[in-house]
Structure 1
Amino acid sequence: MKVDVLVAEIGSTTTVVNAFNHIHTENPVFVGQGQAPTSVMEGDVTIGLNASIADLQRSLNTDSLEYDEMFATSSAAGGLKMTVHGLVFDMTARAAKEAALGAGAIIHLVTAGKLRRGDLKKIQDLNPNIILIAGGVDYGERDTALNNAEAIRGLNLNIPIIYAGNIENQEEIKLIFEDTKQRVYIVENVFPRIDELNVEPTRKVIQEAFEEHIIHAPGMETIRNVVNEAITPTPGAVMQASKLLGKYLKDIIVIDVGGATTDIHSVTVGSDAIARIQVAPEPTAKRTVEGDLGVYVNRENIIDLITREKLEEEGFNVDKILEEYHSIPKNDEEFRFVERLTEVATLMAVERHAGRIRYVYGPEGRATLAQGKDLTEIKYIIGTGGALTRLPAGKEIMMKIMEQDNPEHLLLPNKGAEVLIDHDYIMASLGVLSMKYEDAAAKLLGKSLGIDLMAIQNEESDWSS
């Protein structure tokens, strides 16, 4: 059997392969999916990759499977580990963090100001995949970023460096690292002016650096023997798909509840009213990661949030369930239990993602300010990931987001927002596919969500004209 494209999602525990055909036509097709345990710990990721392709062959009832192109997303080998270093935490450090998160990074350390000995030791111990240095608006403060670059150079780490700070420092940064083994990427400032975020150029370079250096991660050295197209961090691929959807649906939020974390991606400008009282700029496309909210690895955290007593009152035999707890529920009670954990993870993660109204008092009395991401214009709530796409109550769980009623949170007042499910569980695959075949990826996304994106876009164009 011959297909146009395979996309592999190489996770920390499972590798999934999705097959697509007719990519070059008006009607691209999702052919099927195979999966197998990830083999990164065996020192060769292609073992698990080939096993997942074999599983796909079995599901398609074919003895052989040929393909023209293979893309990949990866969160194996610890994912994309980064440290981020800026000038002021609420400004350049936050902007750099937004860029890194949107590219699919797992951020292990964020610092503001000049690096101290303790910070440098943490960087050494963490051994990140990439280090991001920012600091200073263009033609503003220079010394902090230069000091941090010199300090990081002194660590003698063979780790790529991205500089996305004050434009005046670019040549100096190159000189600091010119005699080292470290590859340096010079990017536009993530915070060029006090009222402007510029995160997209840095996001793009982070993904390029990830693709260039992921092949050196343990177990990933052989990845290029099989994959002949782009390799992207899995969360970054979901963000790419979210931004693609945002072109058609305008104001969306994408929820991915996983075993270890819950990721929220939103693509929305927000309302004009909130923008007028916003204390700091927010990116149009924003990602947050709740590392304590997972329905498998971090299940105990969610149980503590609900309390065992409450779960027992709701009819769950918690001890018995946890004795036999698997990443995939096996019976009705386990399904109900995971749905309950998923509900709490979803609502809590969306609440944390949303901005808030703040009241400050001055000589002229109380003033109302907004801080964080404005979700008040969201029109589509989209579920992806194993929990929300495979649990029977996934759609009902997401509908409860519209029931949250806290006037101090910039949540969804739009009770008529439409809830959509990534039924084929292919959003991450389509994110990386969209980097080369955007139209095909958009059509496949629409099919998985059960909507016609092209028709919606045409309706919007007709209405606006």
Structure 2
Amino acid sequence: MRANTLVYDVGSTYTKAAAFRLERGKFTFLGRGQSLTTLNNIMDGAARAEQSIREQGVDFDETVQRYSSCSAAGGLRMVALGYMPRVTAKAAKEVSMTAGARVMQVVSAEEPLAYRKEVLLEINPDIILLSGGTDGGDESCALENAEMICELHSRATVIIACNKYAQREVAEKLARAGVSYVRVPNIMPTIHELNVKPAREAIHEHFIKQITRAKGLMEFRDSLADHTVVPTPGAVLLASELLARGTYEQEGAGSLILVDIGGATTDIHSILPELEKLTIEERGLVINNEKQFAYRTVEGNLGLRVSATGIPEAVGPNAILRAMDDPDGTTPEGVLAFAQKLEDQPDYIPQTEEERMLERAMATCAIRTALRRHAGHYAEVEDPVMGIMAGTAMGRDLRHVHRVLCVGGIFVHTEEAAGRTMVLRSFEEPGISLLPLEEPDVILDRNYLLYAMGVLGKHYPDAACSFLKEYVGAATEE
């Protein structure tokens, strides 16, 4: 069977490729390969990844359609400026979720102007999300922040996503100061409504401009069927959303949790389709991220390489020892030394069984911590003012989720049984966290295909959804 569809993922270290046959509305997976990313010319690494698939005996049609995601840029640094602190933070997280940006700081109008200036000078962001004020609401905050940005002569691109009645004056101020900007509809037109898609698309376009600075990436992009590159975290999330929600033609697999653990971060996504049916009254008068269909949290200090020491710092070395299959002979000092080694040598591969157990134990602790930060919890004390009783469920409720998808290099290179055990341990003893009530079904993306289906789902949603359901064993559950 000849491949007619190829999807790349250009990473900072490796460029991956996955080959498929699309025929009669169905994808068949044929093989995957990878090569070191060639920063001197992106095209070279992509060609080698494709060649590694050919060497496995996979032939390609002459009219093969190529697509790609990319994480090589590392994510754009974004600062969100807004009016109300909690509302701005929630909106900023929603905007950045699939756009290829990292929210470095959220600053509200409650912070002194001098502090806001200090944040922008210290972070030197690639993007400033200028929000604030519902349509017809406050205008002064956005105008004040625009004047501050002009005074600093910021090199960032400003996404003007504030009160629509303030946008024209904000744009005029930025234009006179020579500050780059893009106007999009207000991300929060009313206090209970989010409109984040236009802002996400604007950030995505800026992401593309940044990564095309790499030699050969403009040529690489032009060789793709859709002439675009999707941020890899966004591609993974799009795949999980498609799987959970389904399409007009077929039902999805339902609620799920996505665990994405890498060298720098541990990301948790939860996709809860049932929340799309909530009324405005059920959502609450003020928009609440925890009640959105898709929700993502990123733990920037919990990674298995460049932020490896953050794991023992967060949980303590003894917690890592308890998570090991056989901790005999391993000391807390040994845990700390191993974490430091991984951080100092990001390309290091564990050589002994003890090191492999340590890495799995560190992953378990990172996932466990990230899950508890992502999930809601039972209130421990009564709050008469807020009308909350002890034992009330608050925040993101994952108690009835029964499927967990796992993405990351450790799941590709670890034996499946060991990988599943590693994840299941992270759900043990939930305490007050609103984690699944029953042991979830753990699916490891051992072929690293979720990103590919996220990219292809934009063009072939039904074929991608069918493939995903079969891939995770949900095809027969409808």
Q: Aligning the two structures, in what range does the TM-score lie when normalised by the shorter sequence? A: 0.7 to 0.9
Deviation at 1:9, TM superposition (A): 0.9
SS at match of 2:138: coil
Change in CA separation of 1:18 and 1:216 when aligned onto 2, cut-off 3 Å? same
The TM-score normalised by the length of structure 1 is 0.84
Q: Is the 8 A contact 2:191 2:285 kept in 1?
A: no
Residue number in structure 2 paired with 1:443: 466
Deviation at 1:253, TM superposition (A): 0.9
Paired residues in the alignment total 449
Task: Tell me if 1:374 matches 2:397.
Answer: yes
SS at match of 1:450: coil
Once the two structures are superposed, the pairs formed by residues 103-182 of structure 1 within 5 Å of their partners are 103-113=99-109, 116-117=113-114, 119-120=116-117, 122-124=119-121, 126-179=123-176
Q: Is the 8 A contact 1:264 1:289 kept in 2?
A: yes
Q: Is the 8 A contact 1:10 1:76 kept in 2?
A: yes
Deviation at 1:228, TM superposition (A): 4.3
Residue number in structure 1 paired with 2:249: none
Change in CA separation of 1:172 and 1:270 when aligned onto 2, cut-off 3 Å? same
Of residues 435, 460, 474, the one that matches 1:411 is 435
Structure 2 CA distance for aligned equivalents of residues 315 and 270 of structure 1 = 46
Structure 1 CA distance for aligned equivalents of residues 87 and 387 of structure 2 = 27
Task: Tell me if 1:361 matches 2:383.
Answer: yes
SS at match of 2:350: coil
Deviation at 1:289, TM superposition (A): 0.7
SS at match of 1:361: coil
**One-letter amino acid of the structure 1 residue matched with residue 302 of structure 2:** L
Task: Tell me if 1:239 matches 2:237.
Answer: yes
Deviation at 1:293, TM superposition (A): 0.9
Task: Tell me if 1:80 matches 2:76.
Answer: yes
Deviation at 1:416, TM superposition (A): 5.1
Residue number in structure 2 paired with 1:284: 293
Change in CA separation of 1:217 and 1:101 when aligned onto 2, cut-off 3 Å? farther
Once the two structures are overlaid, the 10-residue window that deviates more, 162-171 or 238-247, is: 162-171
**One-letter amino acid of the structure 1 residue matched with residue 399 of structure 2:** T
**One-letter amino acid of the structure 1 residue matched with residue 86 of structure 2:** D
SS at match of 2:442: strand
**One-letter amino acid of the structure 2 residue matched with residue 340 of structure 1:** A
Structure 1 CA distance for aligned equivalents of residues 386 and 44 of structure 2 = 68
Change in CA separation of 1:118 and 1:402 when aligned onto 2, cut-off 3 Å? closer
Report percent identity of matched pairs.
31
Structure 2 CA distance for aligned equivalents of residues 104 and 232 of structure 1 = 8
User: Can you give the 5+ residue segments of structure 1 that lack an aligned partner in the other structure?
Assistant: 460-465
Structure 2 CA distance for aligned equivalents of residues 154 and 129 of structure 1 = 17
Residue number in structure 2 paired with 1:463: none
Task: Tell me if 1:59 matches 2:70.
Answer: no
Give deviations 1:350-369, integer Å, cap 9, x for gaps. Answer: 11111234445347986466
Q: Is the 8 A contact 2:273 2:293 kept in 1?
A: yes
Structure 1 CA distance for aligned equivalents of residues 271 and 399 of structure 2 = 12
SS at match of 2:212: helix
Deviation at 1:284, TM superposition (A): 1.6
Deviation at 1:90, TM superposition (A): 0.5
Q: Is the 8 A contact 1:103 1:204 kept in 2?
A: yes
Deviation at 1:244, TM superposition (A): 0.7
SS at match of 1:107: strand
Deviation at 1:222, TM superposition (A): 4.5
Q: Is the 8 A contact 2:297 2:374 kept in 1?
A: yes
Once the two structures are overlaid, the 10-residue window that deviates more, 333-342 or 301-310, is: 301-310
Structure 2 CA distance for aligned equivalents of residues 377 and 110 of structure 1 = 32
Residue number in structure 1 paired with 2:248: none
Change in CA separation of 1:122 and 1:65 when aligned onto 2, cut-off 3 Å? farther
The TM-score normalised by the length of structure 2 is 0.82
User: Can you give the 5+ residue segments of structure 2 that lack an aligned partner in the other structure?
Assistant: 246-251
Cα RMSD after superposing both structures: 3.3
Once the two structures are superposed, the pairs formed by residues 22-421 of structure 1 within 5 Å of their partners are 22=22, 24-40=23-39, 42=40, 44-60=41-57, 66=62, 68-113=64-109, 116-117=113-114, 119-120=116-117, 122-124=119-121, 126-179=123-176, 184-216=181-213, 220-229=217-226, 230-247=228-245, 248-268=252-272, 281-282=288-289, 283-308=292-317, 314-315=327-328, 317=330, 318=334, 327-358=348-379, 359-362=381-384, 367=389, 371-392=394-415, 393-407=418-432, 409-413=433-437, 415=438, 417-421=440-444
Change in CA separation of 1:216 and 1:183 when aligned onto 2, cut-off 3 Å? farther
Once the two structures are overlaid, the 10-residue window that deviates more, 385-394 or 319-328, is: 319-328
**One-letter amino acid of the structure 1 residue matched with residue 187 of structure 2:** V
Q: Is the 8 A contact 2:253 2:469 kept in 1?
A: no
SS at match of 2:159: strand
Change in CA separation of 1:154 and 1:2 when aligned onto 2, cut-off 3 Å? farther
Q: Is the 8 A contact 2:319 2:365 kept in 1?
A: no
SS at match of 1:206: helix
**One-letter amino acid of the structure 1 residue matched with residue 308 of structure 2:** R
Structure 2 CA distance for aligned equivalents of residues 254 and 93 of structure 1 = 22
Once the two structures are overlaid, the 10-residue window that deviates more, 9-18 or 154-163, is: 154-163
Residue number in structure 2 paired with 1:13: 13
